[in-house]
Amino acid sequence: MSAWLIDSLATTDSLAEVFSDLSVLQAMLDFEVALARAEAQLKIIPQSAARAIARAARAEAYDCAALARETLRAGTPGIPLVKVLRKKVQQEDAFAANYVHWGATSQDVADTALILLLKKSSAILDADLARIEKALRALSVQHKSTLMLGRTLLQPAPPVTFGLKAAGWLAAVHRGRARLDRAVAEALVLQFGGASGTLGALERRGIQLSELMAAQLGLRVPDAPWHAHRDRLAEVICACAILTGSLGKMARDISLLMQHEVGEVAEPGGAGRGGSSTMPHKRNPIASILTLAAANRVPGLTAAFLSQMVQEHERAAGGWQAEWPTVASVIQSTGVGLASMAEVAEGLSVDPKRMRENIRSTHGTLLSEKIALLLAVHVGREKADDMLRSWSDPKRLKKRSLSQVLAKVPEVRGYKNEKLDKPDEYLGSAQEFIRRLSRHRPRRGK
């Protein structure tokens, strides 16, 4: 794993690798290579210079720790990068070294590198999104008729099915995936503007050069450089925040359903997963915990990014310089939530028997709404509610079911055929809602 130990609960192996020093450095070097090759193609610089720059652009050939120290002094990674790259090229071809970073500015390097890292990250995120969607769709179908308590304000409510709950998670994840897809597609654009965003050093060849560079890097060309306009990245960050919130909702539900007193589902276990340092019997909802931690982190990071959008004129002082760690943290937090909930969705244990037991433990009071509505026609809604409140009192029930108590109540004797003790018959449009929530399929190729 390429992450620092302190970040080990906030990322995954694959995303830690994307944002590792070598990966970040290589993304910046890739920008320089694309620039040199495009300029050579347009005969702005010699072909020999472009080849020398490309040969020198291997991240492993540089001291990342030294570059980090120099970045702190320079205020941008572009300046020390260009310095060491020029020096490396000079060792092979002193003449070619003159053409390193020709016509670009340091923010061009940093922003394009960040977009390249986003491109790599999005493929990782989408793979886990696909896993979650597939697994939740299967759960929603398998358990479409698995009866369980509805819970409002953490208290028993009329019945639902576990399939409906899973379908709700699925639909939220699907919407989040579509939202993130759109935002990432919009954000995958080259940054190349030169000193003031006009590409003045390249005279009238800047746009053509941008098109060649973007093609090499697999990016689109924006209408104009976007040095001080961060809305595209903001949309990605906000999409991640919404998606992570949806994952957090799923994690919260599962962690509550895993409580010993509830015991209706269980995360997949395994060696080193979900144990306790002091209590060997425990099976903790670790994946849900990691996801909830991410859902707690991301809103604050999102607010930080949005505050960084207010940038001065053509180039900002402090705005974009704050973004790298913020974007990296948001992407990795989203990723650890996705990977965790993909694991849960694929291996979740569901206990229909326990769900039935928890329904029975309410002694039929979960159907009080149905009974009150039947009575309201004859005695009025307020009186019906008062009557049900009294009949549902645990002291009055004394371990009897509500239907047993009601059997002796004159006002209810006429409703013997209304199945007042059959929660399976009080699911309304649940099956249609499951069908609607589960109907969306990933796009072809995803």
Chain segment 34-54, per-residue pLDDT in tens: 999 999 999 999 999 999 999
Give yes or no for residue 289 having a pLDDT over 70.
Answer: yes
* Mean predicted confidence (pLDDT) in 410-432: 77
* Mean predicted confidence (pLDDT) in 60-89: 93
- Token pair of 264 as six digits: 């209706």
Is the distance from CB of 384 to CB of 376 less than 8 angstroms? yes
**For the chain, percent of residues with pLDDT exceeding 70:** 93
As a whole number of angstroms, the distance between CA 286 and CA 258 comes to 11
pLDDT computed for residue 38 by the predictor:
97
pLDDT computed for residue 223 by the predictor:
93
Q: Which residue has the higher pLDDT, 368 or 182?
A: 182
DSSP letter at 222 equals: P
Containing H/E element for 82? helix 78-92
Give yes or no for residue 443 having a pLDDT over 60.
Answer: no
What is the gyration radius of the CA atoms in the chain, in angstroms? 30
Give yes or no for residue 287 having a pLDDT over 60.
Answer: yes
pLDDT computed for residue 104 by the predictor:
94
Q: Which residues lie across from 266 on neighbouring strands?
A: 349
pLDDT computed for residue 111 by the predictor:
95
Containing H/E element for 321? none
* Mean predicted confidence (pLDDT) in 336-357: 97
CA dihedral 164→166→169→170, nearest 10 degrees, is -100
Which residue in this structure is represented by tokens 């015991």? 263
Maximum alpha-carbon separation in the chain = 103
Per residue in 222-280, pLDDT (tens digit) is 999 999 999 999 999 999 999 999 999 999 999 999 999 999 999 997 655 655 445 44
Is the distance from CB of 114 to CB of 329 less than 8 angstroms? no
pLDDT computed for residue 442 by the predictor:
60
361-437 belongs to which CATH class?
Answer: mainly alpha
Q: Which has the minimum average pLDDT: 17-21, 127-131, 150-154, 316-320?
A: 316-320
Per residue in 381-404, pLDDT (tens digit) is 888 888 888 878 787 777 788 777
Q: Which residue has the higher pLDDT, 418 or 317?
A: 317
- The amino acid present at 394, given as its one-letter code, is P
As a whole number of angstroms, the distance between CA 132 and CA 127 comes to 9
* Mean predicted confidence (pLDDT) in 359-378: 84
pLDDT computed for residue 248 by the predictor:
98
Give yes or no for residue 58 having a pLDDT over 80.
Answer: yes
How are beta strands 147-152 and 155-161 bridged, if at all? Answer: antiparallel
217: helix, coil or strand? Answer: helix
pTM: 0.92
Q: Which residues are catalytic?
A: 276, 315
Q: Calculate helix-pair angle for 106-142, 162-187, nearest 10 degrees.
A: 160
Domain boundaries, the chain: 1-104+195-219, 106-189+226-360, 361-437
Kindly report the backbone phi and psi dihedral angles of residue 349, in degrees, each rounded to the nearest multiple of 5, phi listed first: -95, 130
Q: Which has the minimum average pLDDT: 227-241, 311-325, 405-419?
A: 405-419
DSSP string, 395-445: HHHTT--HHHHHTT-GGGGGGGGG-TT-GGG--TTHHHHHHHHT---PPTT
The Cβ of residue 102 has, within 10 Å, a number of other Cβ atoms equal to 18
Q: Which has the minimum average pLDDT: 138-142, 189-193, 309-313, 414-418?
A: 414-418
Using pLDDT thresholds of 50, 70 and 90, give the confidence band for residue 88. Answer: very high
C-alpha distance from residue 122 to each of 15, 119, 332, 402 (Å) = 10, 5, 11, 53
Give yes or no for residue 367 having a pLDDT over 70.
Answer: yes
pLDDT computed for residue 445 by the predictor:
47
Per residue in 91-121, pLDDT (tens digit) is 999 999 999 999 999 999 999 999 999 999 9
Using pLDDT thresholds of 50, 70 and 90, give the confidence band for residue 417. Answer: low
Q: Calculate helix-pair angle for 106-142, 78-92, nearest 10 degrees.
A: 110
Q: Which has the minimum average pLDDT: 28-37, 164-173, 331-340, 359-368?
A: 359-368
User: Could you name the CATH architecture of 106-189+226-360?
Assistant: Up-down Bundle (1.20)
As a whole number of angstroms, the distance between CA 358 and CA 156 comes to 9
DSSP letter at 63 equals: -
Using pLDDT thresholds of 50, 70 and 90, give the confidence band for residue 178. Answer: very high
pLDDT computed for residue 436 by the predictor:
92
User: Could you name the CATH architecture of 1-104+195-219?
Assistant: Orthogonal Bundle (1.10)
Containing H/E element for 242? helix 231-257
- Token pair of 64 as six digits: 């990342």
Containing H/E element for 414? none
The total number of residues written for the chain in this structure? 446
Work out the mean pLDDT of the chain and round it to a whole number: 90
